[in-house]
Amino acid sequence: MTEWLAALARRVIALLELFAGKPAAEKPREEPMPEKPAPDAGGKMPEGIQRDFPHAILRKYGCYFFALLRWAQELSGAHGDLSNMNIVSLFLDAQGQMMPNPKGPGMMPIITRTAFVNDPVRLLNFLAGRAAVSRVSLWTNDFAHPAPDLPAFVRRETHPAHGAHFLLDIGGRRWDSLPLGGRVPAGFRALM
């Protein structure tokens, strides 16, 4: 019962953040936030969605989550209604998906409240609604490593002022939740 109440409290706080456009403790925004982002061709989540996303944590740190969510769309066509509220709901639901803690006893979420992805395989499978991948086949922060020869993988890049960023390479094309110039290659994450 306590876990259920904690999950409910997280959802209420996130919805307050969503509707206010900022964390609930801050003054609400003056301009209204659009409820549904404009999809790109084929009804997929648009590039640049992270730039003005109404949920503060996803706007600031959600690049890996957005990349895996876009990949999940490609894998299954799931989550056709990707309104901002639905994306926040998926993020909160993913926080409730637990995995064994590799550093000790107990369980931990596959993605944290601060959008740190603990288990990209489980997160992608959760978002896709099926077992689409089974393992991490490449995890490197080596900028000189050759790009994987796969239909989809995650690129890691860095920016001097903004730090690490993740974007999706899918079907030979880059999909970026937060396009920004001046980034340099910094590795890859491949899931199979």
For the four alpha carbons of 127, 132, 135 and 137, in that order, the dihedral sign comes to: negative
Q: Print burial letters for 103-142: b (CB count within 10 Å at least 16), e (below 16).
A: eeeeeebbbeeebebbbbbbbbbbbbeeebbeeeebeeee
> pTM higher than 0.85 for the full model?
no
**DSSP helix/strand/coil, 2:** helix
Please write the tens of the pLDDT for every residue from 102-147. 999 999 999 999 999 999 999 999 999 999 999 999 999 999 999 9
Q: Is the pLDDT of residue 33 over 50?
A: no
Higher pLDDT, 34 or 13: 13
